[in-house]
Structure 1
Amino acid sequence: MTPGEILLAEGRLETGWWGPGPEAAPTIVLLHEGLGSLGLWRDFPARLQAATGCGVFAFSRFGYGGSDPVPLPRPLDYMQREAREVLPQVLDTIGLRRGLLLGHSDGGSIAAIHAGSVQDFRVQGLVLLAPHFFTETAGLAAIAEARRRYEEGDLRARLARHHRDVDVAFRGWNGAWLDPGFPAAFDLLPDIAHIRVPVLAIQGEADPYGTAAQLQVLEREAYCPVEVLLLPGIGHTPQAEAPEAVLAAVREFSDRLFRPAE
């Protein structure tokens, strides 16, 4: 990884780059989950770069990892703001020419919002890992259980190794999702109905934070081509729990997207 940083008006973002730059190859931009960071992708970016030949770029969003913190509470539309206001600045700053967005969990939702509401012809496809498009009762219960483990168990100590301000990272995510107004604020059906690029959506059947209904609504509402991969026995992090299956699917998807015209 080549470490770096981006300076925006809102503050500093920590970044990492694997493989060729945007002038030499398509770029896969990684968007992490609600408790993730640049470092918590672990070896996945390097393996993804090797599998696809694309450049891979990742960053910690504001409030996560080593990036600058944000004030709490987060607004209930924080993912919409990230997709429409911050992400376009990031893509401009790195000089994106063409590529795809690969988002996990919250990051998948952000990728879908961006593709459905921002006209950006550089983004030619989406890979969504365990994305959310609406709230589910079981998923909210799992988020409430995460709060209990954070306050009473060892979750805070484990996350603190990866975040400059662990309370901002956790409470910003957890507090927004468990706010009574969040289900009404988080309805991405209008966004996914306006996506106009191919989508690969991957989810584990044993994901406690979301069911296959998330993928079903994507297939039903999206106008664009949608491929779905449902992995038996896999939970919320398919890239870590079933890396070979995920890498193979993303490699095939990216090959089709970026194959030179014959």
Structure 2
Amino acid sequence: MPPNERLRVCLEQSGHTAASLAAHVGTDPKTVARWISTGRVPHRRNAHAVARALGTDARELWPSLERRSKRTAAADEDLVAVHRHRSDVSAEQWRDVFAAAERSIDILVYAALFLHEQIPGWNDLLREKAGGGVRVRVLIGDPDCEAVRVRGEEESFGHGIQSRCHLAAMHYRPLTATPGIAVRVHSTTLYNSLYRADDQMYVNTHLYGVNAYGNPLLRLKRTAAGGMFDAYTASMDAVWHTARPLEE
């Protein structure tokens, strides 16, 4: 691809250097240099950040952005961050996301015992949010289902996951009578564990044979209809409709 002369000129006129622009956008100087020398088009989020820093329009710098579909743009913009491991995100960060919820909290997991083990007063937090009008839905795995058994074999965990599902049920059972909180048990193959608070979501991906805490974690924020966030939300809703209530 030809060099992006328009970007080069705007950079020079702005008084920015490649290094200062990179620091402003949150990338590295080599990436900025490639945008100029190779004409590479950055992700839409970065393109708009660069345009704001340079006092111009992103489509002036990268006309091809105009040709991208709205659906693709929404998918790109929904992705806020990628963490190599779920364990890279602290318990405080997890708590802050859910504590900030004002409308809904949705959780789709097999067990996710780290929520109870690492976040003090997890059940109390859910009760407090429900008491404030937040809709809380929790989906945990059926310890007797085939999908949970297979996942245990895949992760060389044996009956460990089944035991963790039993523990999750024990932890959540006291919440089943709380107004605004619904807990259900599902038997689906869990391709991703999903944690949603309003328009924020963590997606814990699952690599074959790797325990959940060691798998990559995506952080999403809903920016437009039809993006990644909505796709994962629809998946969670589909599982909800197949699940049965957790018995008290």
Q: In terms of Rg, which structure is larger?
A: 2
Task: Calculate the TM-score normalised by the size of structure 1.
Answer: 0.30
TM-score normalised to structure 2 length = 0.32
